[in-house]
Amino acid sequence: MAAARHSTLDFLLGATVDCNAVLKALQPIFQEQGMTETVHNWEDHGYLATYIKKNGSFANLRIHPHGLVLVDLQSYNDHMKGREEVDQLLNEVEERMKELFHGNIKRVKRLPAILRGGVIDRYWPTADGRLVEYDIDEVVYDEDSPFQNIKILHSKQFGNILILSGDVNLAESDLAYTQAIMGSGKEDYAGKEVLILGGGDGGILYEIVKLKPKMVTMVEIDQMVIDGCKKYMRKTCGDVLDNLKGECYQVLIEDCIPVLKRYAKEGRMFDYVINDLTAVPISTSPEEDSTWEFLRLILDLSMKVLKQDGKYFTQGNCINLTDALTLYEEQLGRLYCPVEFSKETVCVPSYMELWVFYTIWKKPTDI
Amino acid sequence: MAAARHSTLDFLLGATVDCNAVLKALQPIFQEQGMTETVHNWEDHGYLATYIKKNGSFANLRIHPHGLVLVDLQSYNDHMKGREEVDQLLNEVEERMKELFHGNIKRVKRLPAILRGGVIDRYWPTADGRLVEYDIDEVVYDEDSPFQNIKILHSKQFGNILILSGDVNLAESDLAYTQAIMGSGKEDYAGKEVLILGGGDGGILYEIVKLKPKMVTMVEIDQMVIDGCKKYMRKTCGDVLDNLKGECYQVLIEDCIPVLKRYAKEGRMFDYVINDLTAVPISTSPEEDSTWEFLRLILDLSMKVLKQDGKYFTQGNCINLTDALTLYEEQLGRLYCPVEFSKETVCVPSYMELWVFYTIWKKPTDI
């Protein structure tokens, strides 16, 4: 894959270092490569040496006097030979450093090279902001809908992954997500009325339809998500999205807010409401200012169409965003009717972080 | 945490660019920061501008003529203000680029900053060589035993993680691993004779002892792994490692090869052999040259102490290392006795990659 490869090699030393001695020891390695040196020497902050090669590659050698030596190497190439040259150079730097410090180095760290600017983007940070690289090898679908950017990328291990506006939504490996948001196998959907908010990947719909419900209504705002998923996420949705109407289900391509309002007005009630909207839901009618108020609006409307003994399922957030989880739970105390809730932490394979799912129900009234 | 923060910001453009125009547009942003510029201009490979700040920070602006602009910013600081300054600078670069190209940019990518040279190392690449950042916030244990480096690091979401010579072995969140290597709940261990090879974290021992086996013998070479885990991995091992001998178990601190040979000679037989050795097993008696021959030796010896209707469980590898998995399966065809096997792919939370587990049994003889 043609991309810039950014390689790093870091040395954490036990004590302060003689910056000039490190520079003198390492500079021949770069010079032997025919690289041109430029050195900057701070009064109190050590050295930065930049090495430039004729082929467009360059290296930085940053020597911090308190005992940290960082090497960066950036090259643009898509052939193995270039990679081997980089590895060879970094190996030589590592050997020289070990000789210089007689192995007295606290840590040597060489990260997997970062691929920058390639056609395929392998880096999709977690919800808690960590850097993770996926084994993406193909861009299967990449379109902008009126609502969001929709990507479906192929991962060798997870199958196709749906990514909405940069957020990893669901991979074909992620039945664990669908099971969790359906109540982890503890519910009996047979003969029940079910409402799905969002869920455009079709995973929930596909799994519930197997369980012989009376009727499932799914309300998805974005036709293009459905179009992409029915073609490329078939391990998730099977054939359920091939038609927007089946024996026991219908898919409405609409914003869920007006639909919820209509159902509430009509007095239509459901045994289960499953909120599978994106983390920050999109809507054509954002009457409320903040995300939290909007989330509460959806919750309130959902409670209005939920039977007294019904259940509301939703995904929460990654387990590390404790503040966001707490805020969400606070919203639950501010609905028009009193509710109770439980939560469960689930490992969704493609997420690379643990995820919290909620079950919410109306507080039983006193008899 | 005091560490160097390495920030990146990449622009993938749709077409070739005027390198000089990009440089002229962006250089005021760096100069306003009081950064000193050095520019290198290749004949065919575009520009590299290096910007140096008095406080020891520096930036690289690499402009590739075919339409790739890469910004790197390295600074050493542990205060929020420094981070905000970096974000501010990158925001300005992003705005200027969008103005310059009128939003005609294929991709803008800003990765989470990489922390380099800090006391806590958050980067533990997967077995298939991908870069992943863990939410490590504490070094709980870090010692060199005669056999390996043993680290136990605390992850906010996974609990304590055992890392042996740089390989993530098991986290307190990883009951899924222990269940998989015990046969995924399909085995009846009651009254059975079990042999565990390795398993120093105590997870398998702890889970099997609950199931009332006749006797479990665990053979772990490294006392220090046991010492670390019994103190810091208690969600995994409970109290089972507090004593090396219990009502229905014993732990031998020995190399498993001579133990297996002894048992084979004595004719001692087991219902279950569970191989939980590290991916590249360590031994004090490496009679065999290659890793594969060594793995085969362990397999052969294990088959010698396995009852005719017994089962051998082991972890294989990450699902993406297909060549290694194939080679492993080839070894199974070269044992002293014919065997059959099945495999299962499991999501182990802290691994960030899917893992393959094997069940191996002696081929039933014709009656």
User: Does A5 have pLDDT greater than 80?
Assistant: yes
Q: Residue B125 is nearest to which of A36, A46, A112, comparing CB atoms?
A: A112
Residue A101 has pLDDT above 80, yes or no: yes
Residues in chain A: 367
**% of chain A surpassing 70 pLDDT:** 96
pLDDT at A14: 80
Check residue B152 and give its pLDDT.
Answer: 98
What 3-state class would DSSP assign to A334? Answer: coil
pLDDT of residue A103: 74
Q: Can you tell me the distance from the alpha carbon of B314 to that of B284, in angstroms, rounded to the nearest whole number?
A: 21
Spatial separation of the C-alpha atoms in residues A293 and A328, rounded to whole Å: 10
CATH code given to domain A4-116: 3.30.160.110
Shortest distance, CA A56 to any CA of chain B (angstroms): 5
Question: Which residues of chain A are within 8 Å of residue B42 when distances are taken between CB atoms?
Answer: 54, 56
Give the whole-angstrom CA distance, residue A130 versus residue B350. 14
Q: Residues B260-264: contacts with CB within 8 Å, 24+ apart?
A: B260/B197, B260/B298, B260/B301, B260/B302, B260/B304, B260/B305, B261/B301, B263/B195, B263/B305, B264/B301, B264/B304, B264/B305
Report yes or no: B15 at the A interface, CB cutoff 8 Å.
Answer: no
pLDDT of residue B365: 81
User: Cβ of A263: how many Cβ atoms within 10 Å?
Assistant: 20
**Type of residue numbered B285:** S
Q: Report CB contact under 8 Å: B354, A173.
A: yes
Q: For chain A, which residues make up each domain, given as ranges? A: 4-116, 172-362
Residue B54 in contact with partner chain A when CB distance is under 8 A: yes
Average pLDDT of chain A? 94
Residues 133-192 of A with CB under 8 A from B: 133-135, 156-158, 173, 176
Active site annotation includes A276? yes
Give the Cα separation of A131 and B75 in Å (integer): 18
Confidence of residue A283 (pLDDT cuts 50, 70, 90): low
Q: What's the pLDDT score for residue A195?
A: 98
Amino acid A82: pLDDT:
80
| pLDDT tens-digit series, residues A285-304 | 555 567 888 889 999 999 99
Q: What is the pLDDT of residue A77?
A: 75
Is residue B292 very low, low, confident or very high in pLDDT (cuts 50, 70, 90)?
Answer: confident
Q: Using one digit for the tens of pLDDT, what is the confidence trace for A29-59? A: 999 999 999 999 999 999 999 999 999 999 9
Interchain proximity A116–B109, CB inside 8 Å: yes
Which is the catalytic residue, given B276, B289, B300, B323? B276
A60-71 pLDDT per residue, tens: 999 999 999 999
CB contact at 8 A, B30 and B93: no
Q: Tell me the average pLDDT across B183-207.
A: 98
Report helix, strand or coil for A29.
Answer: helix
pLDDT, one tens digit per residue, over A193-215 is 999 999 999 999 999 999 999 99
Residue B161 is which amino acid? I
Closest in A48, A76, A319 to B157, CB measured:
A319
B109-127 pLDDT per residue, tens: 999 999 999 999 999 999 9
- Out of B40, B60, B64, whose CB is closest to A76? B64
Say how many C-beta atoms besides its own lie within 10 A of residue A82's C-beta.
Answer: 15
B259: Cβ contacts below 8 Å, ≥ 6 apart? B219, B252
Report the chain A residue with the minimal C-alpha distance to residue B55.
A45
The tens digit of pLDDT for each residue in A121-167 reads 999 999 999 999 999 999 999 999 999 999 999 999 999 999 999 99
Q: Do B10 and A116 touch (CB under 8 A)?
A: yes
Pick the catalytic residue from A222, A255, A271, A276. Answer: A276
Which residues from B are below 8 Å from A35, CB to CB?
none
**Cα-to-chain-centroid distance, residue B119:** 19
| Residue of chain A whose Cα is closest to the Cα of B3 | A68
Q: Is A110 helix (H, G, I), strand (E, B) or coil?
A: coil
Judged against a pLDDT cut of 90, whether residue B104 lies above it is answered with: no
Cβ separation A74–B54 shorter than 8 A: no
CA distance linking residue A25 with residue A99, whole number of Å: 10
Cβ within 8 Å, pair A117-B54:
no
Helix axes A291-304, A256-266, angle to 10 degrees: 30
- Confidence class for position B82, pLDDT limits 50, 70, 90: confident
CA distance B157 to chain A (A): 6
Strands, DSSP E only, in A125-164?
136-144, 149-155, 159-164
Domain A172-362: state its class.
Answer: alpha beta
- From chain A, pick out residues whose CB is under 8 angstroms from the CB of B12: 117
Residue A347 touches chain B, beta carbons under 8 Å: yes
CA dist A36 and A59 (Å) reads 10
Query: Quick check: A284 pLDDT over 90?
Result: no
- The reply to whether A77 touches chain B by the CB within 8 Å rule is no
pLDDT number for residue B281: 63
Residue A78: predicted pLDDT:
64
B125 close contact with A: CB closer than 8 A: yes
Q: State residue A79's pLDDT score.
A: 67
pLDDT: is A1 or B291 the higher one? B291
Ranking A276-280, B142-146, B160-164 by mean pLDDT, the lowest is A276-280
Among the listed residues A184, A134, A197, the one whose alpha carbon sits nearest the alpha carbon of residue A163: A134
- Rounded to the nearest angstrom, the minimum Cα separation between A257 and chain B is 32
pTM for the full predicted model: 0.95
DSSP string covering A172-214: TT-HHHHHHHTTTT----TT-EEEEEE-TT-HHHHHHHTT--S
Kindly tell me if the per-residue pLDDT of B367 is higher than 70: no
Q: Check CB contact of A56 with chain B, cutoff 8 Å.
A: yes
Q: Do A125 and B111 touch (CB under 8 A)?
A: yes
pLDDT value of position B289? 61
SS3 (DSSP) at B148: coil
Would the CB atoms of B62 and A4 count as touching at under 8 Å?
yes
Q: Cβ contact (<8 Å) for B354 and A176?
A: no
pLDDT of residue B293: 85
